Structure 1
C-alpha cells in the first residue's frame, strides 16, 4: 500500500506542479499531508511506525542522495569567488541559529544542555525546496537567490558533525566512544574524497571514456560506490556523501554538469517518499502529546532563532532591509532535519521521543508557513507585478515633464521605468558581482 500511495501522490504532484509554481500550493506539503491522512493513527491505509525498517532505510538513502547532490552545487572555486554573503550565513548564522534554538529548548522546554544543543543542530539546516518560488524568481535580487542557494546547499552537511557529536554527548557514558566516532568521521571524509578523484582521473585517462548517453550515470556510479564502501567500512555515510559531492564539483565540472539534473531528480524522489513516510508518523494524537512549552519552543525556533542569528550575521553586509528580511524569514526546516530527527529516535537516548516530537512539530509548522509564503514574498520583489500599467506610464510622463495624455509619448505601458535599478545592485550603487556571478542560478530548484 505504501508504494501504491506514493505512486498516486506522485502522479497528482506532477499534475498540479504548474499550478503550484504560481500559487501557495506546494507538492512537498501534498506528500506530508498525504502521509498524515493515510498513516496508521489517522485512516490506517498503510501501517508505518518509527521502528519500521523501511523508515530508517528510506531516510538513510534519501539523506545520502540529498547530501551528495547538495555537495555538487558548490565546489571550492565557487566558494572562493562568491563567499562573502553565504560565508556570513554559514559561518555566523548557522552556529548562532543552533545556539538560540538550544537556549530556547533548555529554558522553555527544560531539556538538558546536551539534548538542547542536539535539537539546535537538528533544526539549524535550511531547505530551499520550501522556498523555491523565492529562490527561482528572477525578479528577486541575484545575490539573495545565490545566498539562499549556497547556504541551503551547504548547511545540511555542516550541521551533520554537530548532530553526531551532540548525539554522542547526549548518550549515556557507556555508549560514548569518541575513538569510534572519530574513525567513522575520518573514514567518511577519506572515502568521499578518494573515490571521486580516482573515478574522475580514470575517465580522463587514455584507456577510458564515457559516451554521452552514459555520462549522467558516472555521477550515480560514484555515489553508489561511495555509499557501498562507507557501509562496508562503517564510515559515516552522510559525511562521505557530502564530501564526495564537493569533490566532484571541484575536480570534475563536466561530470557535475552531466549528473546535475539527473541527480536532483533522484534526490527529489527519495525526499518526497521520505516526506510521505514522515507524514505518516504524525497524527492528531501525536501533536496532542506535545506540551504547551513544546509549542512555544516550535514558534520560537521559527520566528526567533534564525531571524536573530541572520540579523547579527548581516550587520554592515550591504544587504538592504527587504533582502535581509527575506533571508531572515526563509530558513525553512526541511528534509535534513526530518532525517536527523529520525536518527535521534533510533538512537535510544533517554529523551529521544521528546526530541523527535519537538523536531517534528517544528518541521510541520515550518513547511506550512514557509511553503505558503514564498510566492507572496517573491512577488514583493517584482515591482511590475504589483504596479498597474497605467501607474508606470504616468510616472514616466511626469518624470519627462509632460502632463498625462501629452502627444509624443509612445512608450508602451508595460515598459519598465527608465530609472529602475538592476535587481542585484548593491546599496550605494555597486554590484555584488562577487556574490552572485558564479552559479547563481545553476542549482535553483523548481517549485516542488
Structure 2
C-alpha cells in the first residue's frame, strides 16, 4: 500500500509541478499532507508508526543520498571561489541558530540543557528544496542564491556531529561510549574520503574508463560502496556520505558532472518518499499531544532563532536589507531535521518522545510556511515585471476623483520610476502593433 500511495502522489506531484513552480503550491508540502491524510491516525490507509522498520530504513537511505548529493554541490573549489557570505552563515549563523533555538527550547518548552541543545542542533540545518522558487530564480540576486544554496548544502553535514555527540550526552553515555562514538565518526570520514579517491584514480588509469552510458552510474557505485563499507565497519554512514560527496566534487569534476542530474533525481525521489512516511506519522491526535508552550516554541524557532542569528552574522556584510530579510526568513527546516528527529526517537532517551514532537511540529510549520512564500518573495526581486493593466486604470480613476496627478501631460511615474501603462499621454503616432516601443528601455 505504501508503494501504491507513493506512486499515486508522485504522479499527482508531476502533473501539478508546473503550476507549483508559479504559485504557492509545493510538491514537498503535497507529500507531507498526503502522508498526513493517508496515515494511521487519519484515514488509516498507511499503517505506519515511528518504530516501523520501513520508517528507519527509508529515512537512513534518503538522508545518505541527500548528504552525498549535498556534498557534491560544495567542492573545495566552489567554497574558495565565493566563501565570504556562506562562511558568515555557516561560521556564525549555524552555531548561533543552534544556541538561540536551544535557549528557546529551555526557556519556553522547559527542556533541560542537554535536550535543549540537541533540539537546537536538529533544527539548525536548512533545506533549499522548500524554498526552490527563490534558490532557482535568476531574478533573485546571484549572491543570495549562492549563499542559500551553499549554506543549505553544507549545514546538514556540519550539524551532524553536534547531533550525534549531544544525543550521546542526553542519553548519559560514559567516556567509553564517547570514545566509541569518536571512532565511528573517524571511520565514516575515512571511508568517505578513501573510497572516492581510489575509484577516481582507477578511472584515470589507461586500463579503465567509463562509457557515456555508464558514466552517471559511477557516482552511484561510489555511493553504494561507501554505504556498504560504512555498514560493515560500523562507521557513521551520514558523515561518510557527506565526505564522499565533497571528495568527488573536489577531485572528480568529470564524475561530478556526469552524476549531478541523475543523482539529484534519485535523492529527490527518496526524500519525497520519506516525507510521505513522515507525514503519515503526524495526526490530529499527535498534534494534540503537544502543549501550548510547544506550539509557541515551534513558531519562535522559525521566526526568531534564524533571523537573530543571521542578523548578527551579516552585520557590515554589504547585503541589502531586502537580501538579508530573505536570507533570514528562508531557513526552512528540511529533511535532515526529519531524520535527526527520528534518530532521537529510536535512541530511547527519557524525553525522546517530547523532543520528537517538538521537532516534528517545527518541521511541519516550516514546510508549510516557507514553501508557500518562496514564489512571493522571489517575485519581489523581479525588477522587470510588468505593472498590471488594472493598476493604470485604478490610478486614472483615482486621479479623476482626487484631481491629483500631473497636469502637464506627462506620464505619472510608477513606484519603480517607470511610466504606468495606461497613463501615457495621447499622441498622434499610430499604435505600434509589435509592442517594440512599449518594451524599449
- Deviation of 1:172 after TM superposition, in Å, equals 2.2
* 1:110 Cα offset (Å): 1.1
Query: Any conservation in 2 of the 1:168–1:176 contact (CA below 8 Å)?
Result: no
- C-alpha displacement of 1:178: 1.1
Distance 1:289 1:347 in 2: 20
Asked if the contact 1:98–1:123 (Cα under 8 Å) also holds between the matched residues in 2, the reply is yes
The CA deviation at 1:175 is 9.0
Question: Match of 2:148?
Answer: 148
- Which secondary structure state, in structure 2, belongs to the residue aligned with residue 78 of structure 1? helix
In 2, distance between residues paired with 1:33 and 1:59?
18
8 Å CA contact 1:169, 1:176 repeated in 2:
no
Output one character per residue of 1:394-424: Cα deviation in whole Å (capped at 9) or x when no partner. Answer: 75888xxxx84568998846537x5xxxxxx
Are residues 1:163 and 2:163 paired? yes
Which runs of 5 or more residues in structure 2 are unaligned?
393-410
Deviation sequence 1:26-81 (CA, Å, 0-9, x none): 11111101110111111111210011000000000000000000000010011011
Q: In structure 1, what is the Cα distance between the partners aligned to 2:138 and 2:73?
A: 19
Corresponding residue number in structure 1 for 2:20: 20
What's the CA shift for 1:367?
0.4
Please provide the CA RMSD for this pair: 2.1
- CA–CA separation in structure 2 for the residues paired with 1:415 and 1:66: 43
Instruction: Name 2:317's counterpart in structure 1.
Output: 317
Alignment of 1:89 with 2:89, yes or no, is yes
d(CA) in 2 for partners of 1:299, 1:282: 18
Partner of 2:403: none
| Match of residue 361 from structure 1 | 361
CA–CA distance in structure 1, aligned partners of residues 174 and 74 of structure 2: 39
CA shift for structure 1 position 109: 1.1
SS at match of 2:18: helix
* Alpha-carbon displacement from aligned partner over 1:102-126 (angstroms, at most 9, x marks no partner): 0000011111111001000000000
After the TM superposition, which segments of 4 or more aligned residues of structure 1 sit over 3 Å from their partners? 173-176, 388-391, 393-398, 403-416
1:241-284 Cα shifts (integer Å, max 9, x gaps): 00000000000001000000000000001000000000010000
Segments of 5+ residues of structure 1 without an aligned counterpart are 419-448
Q: How many residues are matched?
A: 414
Task: Indicate yes or no: 2:81 matched with 1:117.
Answer: no
In structure 1, what is the Cα distance between the partners aligned to 2:173 and 2:56? 25
Match of 1:276 in 2: 276
CA deviation profile, 1:123-150 (whole Å, cap 9, x unmatched): 0000101100111111110110111110
Query: Structure 2 length as normaliser, TM-score?
Result: 0.90
Specify the SS of the correspondent of 2:349. Answer: coil
* 1:179-198 mapped onto 2 (5 Å cutoff): 179-198=179-198
Query: Which has more radius of gyration?
Result: 2
- C-alpha distance in 1, partners of 2:178/2:360? 28
Secondary structure of the structure 2 residue equivalent to 1:346: helix
Helix, strand or coil at the partner of 2:108: helix
User: What is residue 352 of structure 1 aligned with on the other side?
Assistant: 352
Task: Please list the CA deviations of residues 175-209 of structure 1 after superposition, one character each: whole Å capped at 9, or x if unmatched.
Answer: 96111001011001100000000000000000000
Could you tell me whether the CA contact under 8 Å between 1:218 and 1:255 is conserved in 2?
yes
- Residues 132, 374 of structure 1: 8 Å contact kept: yes
Check 1:284–1:176 CA distance in 2 against 1; reply closer, same or farther (3 A cut). Answer: farther
Contact 1:379 1:386 in 2 (8 A): no
The residue number in structure 2 matching 1:415 is 439
TM-score normalised according to structure 1 size: 0.89
Offset, 1:386: 5.7
Change (3 A) 1:98 1:412: same
Aligned equivalents of 1:397 and 1:10: distance in 2?
44
String of CA shifts for 1:290-347, please: whole Å, max 9, x gaps: 0011001001100000000000000000000001000000000010000000000000
Where do 1:53-64 residues align within 5 Å? 53-64=53-64
1:336 aligns with 2:336: yes
Tell me the distance in 2 between the aligned counterparts of 1:192 and 1:173: 26
**CA pair 141-227 structure 1, distance change in 2 beyond 3 A:** same
Q: Which runs of structure 2 are paired with 1:3-42 in the superposition (5 Å)?
A: 3-42=3-42
Q: Which residue of 2 aligns with 1:429?
A: none
Identify which range, 339-348 or 167-176, moves more after superposition. Answer: 167-176
Q: 2: distance between equivalents of 1:276 and 1:299?
A: 23
Q: 1:120 to 1:397 in 2, by over 3 A?
A: closer
The superposition leaves residues 226-252 of structure 1 with CA deviations (integer Å, 9 ceiling, x where unpaired) of 000000000000000000000000000
Per the alignment, residue 70 of structure 2 pairs with 70
Q: Distance in 2 between matches of 1:182 and 1:412?
A: 66
CA distance in 2 between counterparts of 1:148 and 1:217 reads 28
Whether the aligned pair in 2 keeps the contact of 1:65 and 1:241 (CA below 8 Å) is: yes
